[in-house]
Chain A
Amino acid sequence: MEENQKFIVNGKRIDGRKIDELRPIKIEAGVLKRSDGSCYLEMGNNKIIAAVYGPRALHPRHLQDPNKAVIRYRYNMAPFSVEERKRPGPDRRSVEISKVSREAFEPVVIKELFPRSSIDIFIEVLQADAGTRVAGLNAASVALADAGVPMKGMVTAVAVGKVDDHIVLDLFKDEDNYGQADIPIAMFIRDGKIEGITLLQMDGQITKDELKEAIKLAKKGCLEIYRLQKEALFKRCRGEDFVE
C-alpha cells in the first residue's frame, strides 16, 4: 500500500465498492450457550463476538443504583486480531471506546425496570479491519435483544470517512490508515426510523459540508444494517429466514 496510491478510481474504491456501499455483513444471534444473549458479526474482515449477561444482581453492592440498572461495556481486542500482536488487556484506546459505546446504549436501554442490577456487555474483537467499535455496537445491539433486555429501539452504527477528498461509507483498513478522516457514528433507530445520534466521534480534517454529507451516508448505511440486525433476530426467534 503506497501512501500516494489513489483510493478512488472511476467512482470505485480499491476493494471494488462504490462510495456509499457497505462491506458484506453477516450477523448471527444466539451463538453462545452460557451468556444470556449473544451475537457473532462480520463486517468485511472484522470478526466480532458480543455477549450480554443480565440484568443480574450487581456486585459489589456499592456500585448498585437503587433506581435503575447499571450498564457496563467492555470492548476488548484479542492479541491476534491485528497485524502486530496487541498486548492483552485494556489499553487507553479500548477504555475510551468502552466508555463512549456504553454511553451509546444508555438512552436506549430501559434501565429503570431493573434497579440494583447490572447489564454487562462484552465485546471481543477476534479480527480487526477498521470500524471495530461500530461493528461491536451492531453486535451488542443484537446480543441485547437476544438477551431480552428491554430497549426503546436498536443501536446501529457505521463509520464514515474521507479518502481522496471523497466522503465514503464504511472504511476498511487501508482507507482508515491512509485516509483523511474517520467518523464513527451510532444511531438510535425505532421502528425503522432514525431518532438521533447516540455516538459520534471524529478525527481527521473535514468541513461542515463534508460532515453533512457524512451524516447522510451514515443514515443510509445504518438503515441497511438495521435491516440485517432485524433479520438475524427474526431468524433466531423463528429459526427461518425473514421474508418481508
Chain B
Amino acid sequence: MKTLSNEIIADIKKDFVYRKLKNNERVDGRKFDEFRSIEIIPGIIPRAEGSAMVKLGDTEVVVGIKMQPGEPFPDTPDKGVIITNAELVPLASPTFEPGPPDENSIELARVVDRGIRESGAIDLEKLCITEGENVWIIFIDIHALDDDGNLLDASSLAAIAALMNTTIPSEKFGYGDDEILPVRNIPVSVTSLVLDEAILVDPSSDEEKLTPNRVTITSDSDDNLVSMQKSGAFLLSEEKLYELVDLSVEKARGIREMLRDV
C-alpha cells in the first residue's frame, strides 16, 4: 500500500509542477533560464590527486581524480589517457540500484568525458612519459551523493573543478617532482529540459519527473560548441536547437567565471 500512496502523491505533485509551468512559473520560483545556486568546493579529498564537490541547489556530486602511469592506446602512443566513470550509488536517489553502471550512468560519464576531451582542457601530449610505452592515465571518477536533478551539469562542473586543482604525482612513481596539471580550457555543460514549447535550464528532480527530454550543450572558453547530446524520446525542432545553443553558451560564460574565481 505504501508504494501506491507514494505513487498517488507523486502524480499529484507532478500535476502541480506542470500546472505551475503552464502559468509560466517554476515550482522553486526560478526563472526558466536560471540555474540554482552553485557552490564549488575544491580539494575536499586530499587523498586524491585532485577533487571537488559541487552543490547545485540540493544536488551534490563529488569528483575525484586519480593518476597513474600506464600504457597508451596503440593509435595515440604519445598521448595520455582520460578515463571517466560515473557511479550513481544507491545512496543518492531512491531510484538508483547497486550493480554495474546502467545506460544512464554510462551516458552521463560519456557526455562529461566528451566535454573535457573535445575542449582540449587537458593537453594529452604533455602527459606522455615514454612514447609508446608509458603515459599518465587520468581517472575521473564521478560520485553522485544526492540527486535532486541535473546530475549531469553538477558532474561536469565538479570534473573540471577537480582537474583544475590536480597535481601530477610524479614523485610517487619516481618521475621527478610533482607538478600542477595544466588545464588549458574550461568546458561548461548546460542541460535544459524541453517540455512542450518551454525550455527549463538546470532542471530539478521535480521537473525531471515530468519528462526525460533534455538537451546538453557544452561550450569551451572561446564559446565553441564542443559537445551536444539530445536525450529522451522527443522531436527537436531546428529553431529550438539554436535557441538552446544561444542560451547554453551564455549561461556557460557565467559559470566559467565562477570556476575561475574558485
Q: Which residues of A are in contact with B by a Cβ distance under 8 Å?
A: 84, 92-93, 95-96, 98-100, 103, 106-107, 183, 188, 195-208, 211-212, 215
Contact = CB atoms under 8 A, between A and B. Distances in A.
B236 A196 contact: yes
Contact of A200 (B107, B228, B246): B228
Interface string B87-121: 00000000000000101001101100010011110
Contacts of B235: 107, 188, 195-198
Contacts of A199: 230
Interface string B71-101: 0001000000000000000000000000001
Contacts of A96: 103, 106-107, 110
Given A100-B230, A200-B230, A206 B237 contact: no
Contacts of A188: 235
B74 A84 contact: yes
A207 B110 contact: no
Interface residues of B, number: 35
A203 B106 contact: no
Nearest to A200: B230
A99 B249 contact: no
- Describe B's contact surface by its main secondary structure: mixed
Interface stretch (B26-34, B54-62, B137-145, B219-227): B219-227
Interface of B: 74, 101, 103, 106-107, 109-110, 114, 117-120, 215, 220, 223-238, 241-242, 245-246, 249
Given A196-B236, A203-B118, A215-B241, A100 B231 contact: yes
Given A200-B228, A201-B228, A204-B226, A99 B103 contact: yes
A52 B101 CA distance: 27
Given A188-B235, A197-B230, A202 B225 contact: yes
Contacts of A183: 228
A203 B117 contact: yes
B242 A208 contact: yes
Contacts of A203: 114, 117-118, 226-227
Given A92-B110, A103-B232, A205-B224, A200 B103 contact: no
Contacts of B233: 103, 106-107
A99 B236 CA distance: 17
A199 B215 CA distance: 11
Q: Which of A92, A103, A198 has the most CB of B within 10 A?
A: A92
